[in-house]
Structure 1
Amino acid sequence: MTQNGQNTALRNDWSLEEIETIYNKPVLELIVEAANVHKQYQATGEVQVCTLLSVKTGGCSEDCAYCPQAARYHTGVDVHKLMSQEQVLTAAQRAKEGGSTRFCMGAAWREVRDNRDFDKVLDMVKGVNDLGLEVCCTLGMVNEYQAERLKEAGLYAYNHNLDTSEENYENIITTRTYDDRLNTIDNVRKAGISVCSGGIIGLGEADEDRIKMLYTLSTMEQHPESVPVNALVPVKGTPLENQPLVSVWEMVRMIATARILMPKSMVRLSAGRERMSLTEQALCFLAGANSIFTGEKLLTTPNPDFDADKAMFELLGLNPRKSFKEEGQPVVG
């Protein structure tokens, strides 16, 4: 805090050198600094509980080296067409009853097309919004018009991860460019939709790539409202199936650095949480994580279930964040 007790200023002008210095601090010192920043800007002990549902699974034309849903890899993931609205709303209601306040729908598309499937997704967005949940989508690339239609349907947030640094990107994905990613984020932002964008560690990248990805996120004109930090879950059949698992200390270092750089953002402890002990997850919360996915699966990878997370919340004294907290909107239902 500053001498007059006010929060330190939000910044969008971080330098790579500054971020590198923060990232490379001794890990316990880094955790303490991040915890102090977290306390300035966030309600400590408050964690947003989100549920992610794959509404259209597999058969994607992209070549993301980590993804079991890419059609070109043999990963044992069955292709499923778009779910019905009834199925999605049933899942959303179950998520709400399990304590989730944000419901995210993922479709294994390279990009949104203006067709009947997109119309169905818009109806799903309306239905989930009517339940009083923050509704999020991750559907691949969207143009300005499509983003506006999603906003009109009641979409609260759109997820589009950077995945890694611009320099490392072509080693992970060749079927689209880094600029394609950034353009989609710009289109979402122009439509007035909350941005959810982070990345994955454990793809074979160097620390320098992690720092550069954080630089791109933290120097955006407006920080993403949500920043997921994912640990790669290696899947047999993908090019990254033999990647070593990242340690909890690598996750903590990423979470803490993201918290210091983007104090008002939700920093989400995402993929990889399923294999973390309760103690390791507690370290991540201490370092500034204040959002998780709950439910049995994250798209196609395992995730802790509602009951396990409920027990963790009780033990650690965590409280679920309410829907639409930033807007002060009334919660329906």
Structure 2
Amino acid sequence: MQALSTVGDVVQEKPCDAQWTLDAARELYNLPLNDLLFRSHTLHRTKFNANEVQLSKLLNIKTGGCPEDCGYCSQSVHASGVAASKLMNLDDVLLEARKARESGATRYCMGAAWRSPKPRDEPAIVAMVKGVKSLGLETCMTLGMLSSAQAETFADAGLDYYNHNIDTSERFYPEVITTRSFADRLKTLANVREAGIKVCSGGIIGMGETPDDRIDMLVTLANLPEPPESVPINLLIPMPGTRMANLEPVDPIEFIRIIALARLMMPASSVRLTAGRTTMSDEMQALCFFAGANSIFVGDTLLTAANPGNDRDSNLLARLGMTATSLEIPGER
């Protein structure tokens, strides 16, 4: 697995059998900010185009009614304010996927508020994966927990990525969710990996956890047998009706430190700046990109929360001299 060491101002990747420790990760996190950003940005440039951002679009294909008690989620039956809906039909999903492609997205993510998919829903999911792939988009699903058989089914359909966040550290996890365990999360990630689907897994900052919880979350991800190809870092959006509706906002500098640390600990992964961008200043987002974030979600909504619109994102990227990853559409040159 990939990790890295830092000696002075030089960044060096560790051998593939190296393991991250909380102490080593904390030492990086606590560096003077300029030193931390220098190291993360230097490493970022060895793996990615530092002036390019990958755009994704997330569609809620089934809203509300989830039996899980995730304290941050308005789609839980334990929260209030979001009515349950049925699974969207294929034509509507593909219509939205075409719009996403036209807006510059190269990955299309579909999320359903389930504990796990039921057998009756699997054929519809398979059809959505195949339909979206036919448009030339990368496909991603987030459907809750998956068995090994379900992961194999979606892999056979051609699913590129599966998102299943671990959310936080193992220590703090019971404060966030009680209806499933941290081990359940890791089992789904293992099932996805074994089926040959790329893993998308990260967490949420601002749920009342300590800095060590945030760091330990990254240690868990970086120490998986193979780190996730995609690591979304969410800033909590306090949703009305949830247990976390009134939490204090996170210091922007602390959030930027986590972005930089994720880049240092998982140098080959896409670090995704996800939920919470509506509350971030343009300057904060610019520092996140400098720290190593290289993917965002576009559009006006992110599941049930607000998201910066395409105009604001296009304007910000233009001002920063950054561009979106291009998409090669099948049959076009």
TM (norm. structure 1) is: 0.93
Counterpart pick for 1:43 among 45, 49, 53: 49
- Residues 41, 290 of structure 2: 8 Å contact kept: yes
String of CA shifts for 1:123-162, please: whole Å, max 9, x gaps: 0110000000000000000011111111111110000000
- Residues 218, 262 of structure 1: 8 Å contact kept: yes
Rounded to whole Å, the distance in 2 between the matches of 1:80 and 1:312 is 34
Rounded to whole Å, the distance in 2 between the matches of 1:200 and 1:8 is 26
Say if 2:120 is the partner of 1:94. no
Q: Which residue of 2 aligns with 1:209?
A: 213
Counterpart pick for 1:232 among 220, 225, 236: 236
Number of aligned positions between the proteins: 323
> Could you say if the C-alpha distance between residues 317 and 134 of structure 1 is closer, same or farther in structure 2, counting changes exceeding 3 Å?
same
Q: Which residue of 2 aligns with 1:309?
A: 313
Say if 2:330 is the partner of 1:332. yes
> Could you say if the C-alpha distance between residues 207 and 90 of structure 1 is closer, same or farther in structure 2, counting changes exceeding 3 Å?
same
Say if 2:173 is the partner of 1:169. yes
Rounded to whole Å, the distance in 1 between the matches of 2:302 and 2:106 is 16
Q: Which residue of 1 aligns with 2:261?
A: 257
String of CA shifts for 1:231-257, please: whole Å, max 9, x gaps: 100011111111011122122011000
Structure 1 stretches of 5 or more lacking a match? 324-329
Rounded to whole Å, the distance in 2 between the matches of 1:294 and 1:185 is 25
1:25 to partner: Cα distance:
1.1
Rounded to whole Å, the distance in 2 between the matches of 1:196 and 1:331 is 23
Counterpart pick for 1:110 among 94, 112, 115: 115
- Residues 7, 41 of structure 1: 8 Å contact kept: no
Q: Which residue of 2 aligns with 1:20?
A: 26
Q: Which residue of 1 aligns with 2:79?
A: 73
Q: Which residue of 1 aligns with 2:3?
A: none
Say if 2:62 is the partner of 1:56. yes
**What letter is aligned with 1:277?**
S
**What letter is aligned with 2:41?**
A
**What letter is aligned with 2:62?**
K
1:221 to partner: Cα distance:
1.2
SS at match of 1:120: helix
Rounded to whole Å, the distance in 2 between the matches of 1:288 and 1:251 is 12
Rounded to whole Å, the distance in 2 between the matches of 1:131 and 1:293 is 18
Say if 2:318 is the partner of 1:320. no
> Could you say if the C-alpha distance between residues 128 and 10 of structure 1 is closer, same or farther in structure 2, counting changes exceeding 3 Å?
farther
Q: Which residue of 2 aligns with 1:326?
A: none
SS at match of 1:290: strand
Rounded to whole Å, the distance in 2 between the matches of 1:281 and 1:185 is 29
String of CA shifts for 1:206-230, please: whole Å, max 9, x gaps: 1111111111011111110000000
Rounded to whole Å, the distance in 2 between the matches of 1:199 and 1:118 is 26
Rounded to whole Å, the distance in 2 between the matches of 1:52 and 1:298 is 6
SS at match of 2:286: helix
RMSD: 1.7
Say if 2:83 is the partner of 1:83. no
Runs of 4+ in structure 1 off by over 6 angstroms are none
Rounded to whole Å, the distance in 2 between the matches of 1:322 and 1:110 is 34
- Residues 95, 103 of structure 1: 8 Å contact kept: yes
Rounded to whole Å, the distance in 2 between the matches of 1:245 and 1:131 is 39
SS at match of 1:167: coil
Say if 2:219 is the partner of 1:221. no
- Residues 22, 215 of structure 2: 8 Å contact kept: yes
Counterpart pick for 1:8 among 7, 13, 20: 13
What is the percentage of aligned positions where both structures have the same residue?
Answer: 48
Single out whichever of 9-18 and 207-216 deviates more from structure 2: 9-18
Q: Which residue of 1 aligns with 2:245?
A: 241
> Could you say if the C-alpha distance between residues 6 and 227 of structure 1 is closer, same or farther in structure 2, counting changes exceeding 3 Å?
closer
Say if 2:29 is the partner of 1:31. no
